[in-house]
Structures are given as structure tokens and as C-alpha cells.
Amino acid sequence: MKQLFINIRQLVGVQQPAQPLRGEALGQLPLLENAYLQVVDGRIASFGAMSEVTTDMLHEASNIIDAAGRLLLPGFVDSHTHLVFAGTREAEFVLKLQGASYAAIAAAGGGIHSTAAKVQAASEDALYEAAWQRLQALMKTGTTAIEIKSGYGLTLEAELKMLRVIQRLKQTAPIPIKATFLGAHALPKNFADNRDAFVDALIQHWLPKVADEGLADFVDVFCEAGFFTPEETIRIARAAAALWMPAKLHVNQLQVSGGVQAAVAVNALSADHLECMDEAAIQTLAGSNTIGTMLPTAAFFLRLPYPPARQLIAAGAALALASDYNPGSSPSGYMQWVLALACIQMKMTPAEAINAMTINAAFALQLEEEVGSIAVGKRANLLLTKPMSGVDFMAYAFGEQHIEQVYINGLPV
């Protein structure tokens, strides 16, 4: 099947970098004016100036999409989500509005533990159906590759159940999905008085079981005070690496925790959150191959400081953006809102933010050969905007729906 996009006002993100973008390169978003793009069997086959379109290309196309006045750009890559969960937590939302902190709600039995109880009680089919509905909604708003974590099980059985749901989503969804085992999300209640025993169980029993069933691509640890220490995080990440599961770690969300240093020490693929950063953490991240993934919607929802994007960019860190979609601290996977917050609150340029949520996010999932930019051979996971002047308008007019049509493997969603 051959499709042809013609008269594209701007074809955005025309690049295939060998490494994640950082520093000045993050702000460079290559594009072609008045362009075409050809799709063959769901992959980008060619692109270029409209003057290069031949009569044969027009005749051979089974579908021609006239994109006059519109932008065509790579689909969003959401590299940090908790899409599989049961129930919602709007009651805790009200408590937060009344002044309760995230840590206080968790200490009172809310937060992660409240969702875990619902996940433990839910059937695999129920979890799958709810996650499938969420995923379909996200695809329609522009998410064309995604990471999904476990972590709301807090028992081996429930964690495996969540990972099997993600496995089913991988098998049925038309977009790339990566699974992350977040067994170390919170301390299970039955280990409340013996955290060393839990870490030992996680390393000696849980991780091998996950690896034996091939259920996870990555491992994650919630490295924060009251959850897991940098030392515990390093132990777990190294055990997972021995089982061919690289680390993608929650760090420095609630305080300067040493989590960034732990992530770099284990050569983590990404260090995620970064709301609380000191100069040592910034320089450690910038001097590493670890991608810093910022989650501005979580900071917005929890009224936390935003990650210091400008300082991180100036230091030379490789950065990605993601939604952190979850029921407690970021109950939205709307990536256009991530884009707006990154620009308005974190002072990223639209070009920097688009790169961070496309090609750099693809690197953060080891999907850079499949998605994240306009390059021959990549999946035709594309966003066709409404008529507009350029990508700057997408961040500037933050309350609007700017995507006219999402294409996944060349097909409209």
C-alpha cells in the first residue's frame, strides 16, 4: 500500500541522529518547506520538496493526502507512564487541595497502596480492558509509542498480572510498547518492618521470575526518601542488568535524594522526574549517557517545582519529556499539554520540547530506529496538524487541539 502526503507546509523533524540531542542541538528542529512524504506498507519510503514529486508517484499512490497549510511531524513518544491501573483517586485530589502532601497521603494508606489494593482485586481482563481504552484515547491525541510500568501490584502475583496485561497490549496495539517492571514502587505492607527482606526477595525471586517469563524490557525503582534509598536502587538495578533489563529510574522528584547519582552509577537509560536538582545532580547527569526525562504534568498536578530545564540544557544534559500518566499524580496522558507546560513553565523553546518528546524520548525507550523522527525506513507514525504557521503555534495556543489527524503505520487513527 502506497500513500502520498503532498503540499505539506512544513515537514518537521527530518533527522536521524546517532545519539540523543543535547545542548544547542536540542533546539535545532530540521524541517522542509512545501514538502511531500511517501509511505509504503506503513513505513516512510521517501520525502523531499514538492518539486521532486513525479507523475509515477501520483499514479501509484493508493491514497493521496493534501496537507496544504498543515504541518506533518513525528508522533509523540511517551517514555514514562503507569497506564495499567484500577480505580481513580479524586478523593486524594481533594485532600491535596486542602493541603495534604503526597508523602502524608501515602503514609496514611493512600497513594500507591490504595491503587495497589484495587489492582490486586481486579481481574487481568478488567485491567486489560481499562488500559486498552486509555491507550486508544492516547493514540487519538498523538501518542504513537509508549512505555508502561507495573508497580501497582506490590505482590509478585499482582505485579506479574500487570506485566501480562502490558504483554497483551503489546500484542494487540499497533504502536510500539515497552514494559517496565517497577516492583520497587513502594514497600509492601507485609514487609513494612523488614525492608532488607523485601529488597532481597525482589532481587532473588521477583526479578528472576519476570525475566524467565520475558515480561519486562526495563526495570524501575522509586528512589526517594520514604521509598527506596540510592544504595537499594543500585542493588536492584545491577541485579536487573544481569538479567538484561536496563534501568529507567524515578529520581529527585520530592527532594535532592542522590537518585541522579545512583542512576548514572548504574548507567541507567533514563533518570526520570528531576523536580529537585542541585548543581551536583545537574552536572552528574550532564556528564553521563543517561537521559533526563522530565514530567511537567506531575509537577503541575502536585504543585511541585518544575524541573530546571534551562540549567540542564545549558549544562549539556540529554533531555526527554513524558506524561507520567497515572491515577495519583498525573491523571492525564495528553502530550500537547506536556508540550505547553515545558515551554510556558520550564522555558523550553518549542523546538527543544518537540525534540524532547519525539526523538530523545525514542532514545529513552531504545526505539530510535523505529520512531521519533522523519527518516526513511521508520514507521509512518505521524501527526498532521490543522493549518498553522509552524510548531511555535502549537505551544503558544496552549488550549487548542492542534492535531487534525494521527497516522499510525501510515493509517489514520
Q: Establish whether 389 is an annotated binding residue.
A: no
pLDDT at res. 118: 95
Give yes or no: residues 318 and 394 share one domain: no
Which pLDDT tens digit goes with each residue over 231-288? Answer: 999 999 999 999 999 999 999 999 999 999 999 999 999 999 999 999 999 999 999 9
Q: Name the DSSP class of 270.
A: E
Q: Which tens digits make up the pLDDT trace of 363-393?
A: 999 999 999 999 999 999 999 999 999 999 9
**Can you give the residue range of the structural domain that contains 39?**
2-75+373-412
Residues 357 and 244 in one domain: yes
High-pLDDT (> 90) share of the chain, %: 91
Domain count of the fold of the chain: 2
Question: Quick one: how far is CA 74 from the chain centroid?
Answer: 15
Report whether pLDDT(106) > 80. Answer: no
Determine the pLDDT at residue 291. 98
Rounded to two decimals, what is the model's pTM? 0.96
Q: What is the mean pLDDT of the chain?
A: 96
C-alpha cell at 137: 484515547
CA-to-CA separations, 314 to 261, 284, 311, 317, 374, in angstroms, rounded: 19, 13, 5, 8, 26
Same domain, 215 and 278: yes
Q: Is 80 one of the annotated binding-site residues?
A: yes
Sheet bearing 218-223, strands edge to edge? 76-78, 143-149, 177-184, 218-223, 248-251, 270-273, 291-294, 319-321
Q: Is residue 89 part of an annotated ligand binding site?
A: yes
pLDDT per residue over 320-351, tens digit each?
999 999 999 999 999 999 999 999 999 999 99
Tens-digit pLDDT profile for residues 165-213: 999 999 999 999 999 999 999 999 899 889 999 999 999 999 999 999 9
CA distance 89 to 269: 30
Share of the chain above pLDDT 70, in %: 100
What local confidence, expressed as pLDDT, does residue 102 receive? 67
Per the annotation, does 152 bind a ligand? yes
Is the pLDDT confidence value at 101 over 90?
no
Task: Name all contacts of 254-260 with Cβ < 8 Å and 24+ positions apart.
Answer: 254/102, 254/103, 254/224, 254/225, 254/304, 255/224, 255/225, 256/281, 257/223, 257/224, 257/225, 257/230, 258/223, 258/230, 259/223, 259/224, 259/230, 259/233, 260/284, 260/285
Q: Are 99 and 180 contained in the same domain?
A: yes
| Contact status, residue 216 vs residue 179, Cβ threshold 8 Å | yes
Cα 18–chain centre separation: 20
* pLDDT score recorded for residue 112: 85
Do both 164 and 152 map to the same domain? yes
Task: Indicate whether 118 and 89 sit together in one domain.
Answer: yes
Tell me if 200 is assigned to a ligand binding site. no
Question: CATH number, domain at 286?
Answer: 3.20.20.140
> If DSSP codes are grouped into helix, strand and coil, which group holds residue 134?
helix
DSSP-assigned letter for residue 155: S
Give the pLDDT band of residue 223 (cuts 50, 70, 90).
Answer: very high
CATH number at residue 402: 2.30.40.10
Is 226 among the annotated ligand-binding positions? no
Q: What pLDDT does 105 receive?
A: 79
Report whether 22 belongs to an annotated binding site.
no
Same domain, 31 and 129: no
What pLDDT does residue 191 have?
A: 93
The C-alpha cell that represents 143 in the structure block: 501518542
Distance between CA atoms of residues 392 and 406, nearest Å = 19
Last residue of a domain, one of 345, 364, 383: 364
Is 150 marked within a binding site?
no
Strands (E), 107-217: 143-149, 177-184
pLDDT at 369: 98
Q: Please tell me whether 82 is known to bind a ligand.
A: yes
Average pLDDT over residues 26-47: 98
Q: Are residues 214 and 351 in the same domain?
A: yes
| 71 within 8 A of 385, measured Cβ to Cβ | yes
Residue 97 has a pLDDT of: 86
- pLDDT tens, residue by residue, 129-159: 999 999 999 999 999 999 999 999 999 999 9
Task: Examine the domain organization and report whether 173 and 237 are in the same domain.
Answer: yes
Place of cell 510498547: 177
Q: Would strands 71-74 and 63-66 be described as parallel, antiparallel, or unpaired?
A: unpaired
Sign of the dihedral through C-alpha 293, 294, 298, 303: positive
**Are 189 and 50 found together in one domain?**
no
262 shares a domain with 328: yes
Q: What is the DSSP string of 36-55?
A: EEEEETTEEEEEEEGGG--H
Domain match, 101 and 134 both:
yes
Rounded-to-10 torsion of CA 197, 110, 273, 295: 150
